[in-house]
């Protein structure tokens, strides 16, 4: 999460915010965005595995197939692609129905 907030993700250090209340609000929004990106990355790994992930699962069922990118990076890329194509984001949770 640290690197996702800093150099590899949102670039928190580039904002140069000096007031604590503004920084608090920014971190809250970034935390929600981080949750959305990681959840989307996990969804993408399940629904759209890479060819390397498919091979790993077929050959070595005892080992966990790992992606070369983090769930955050994968999710952020998926969100950008969906937004560029004007498509809806995946539904990551559903309301309980009675």
Could you tell me which residues come within 8 angstroms of residue 57 by beta carbon, excluding any fewer than 6 positions away? 49, 65
Q: Give the Cα separation of 6 and 1 in Å (integer).
A: 9
For residue 57, is pLDDT > 60? no
Q: Give tens-digit pLDDT for 32-47.
A: 888 888 888 888 888 8
Q: How confident is the model at residue 64 (pLDDT cuts 50, 70, 90)?
A: low
Average pLDDT, the chain: 78
For residue 98, is pLDDT > 50? no
């Amino acid at each position: 999460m640290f690197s996702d907030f800093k150099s590899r993700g949102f670039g928190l250090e580039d904002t140069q915010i000096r007031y604590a209340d503004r920084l608090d609000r920014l971190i809250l929004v970034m935390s929600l965005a981080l949750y959305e990106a990681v959840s989307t990355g996990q969804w993408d790994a399940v629904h759209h595995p890479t060819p390397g992930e498919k091979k790993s699962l077929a050959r070595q069922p005892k080992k966990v197939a790992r992606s070369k990118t983090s769930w955050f990076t994968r999710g952020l890329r998926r969100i950008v692609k969906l937004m560029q194509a004007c498509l809806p984001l995946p539904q990551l949770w559903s309301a309980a129905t009675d």
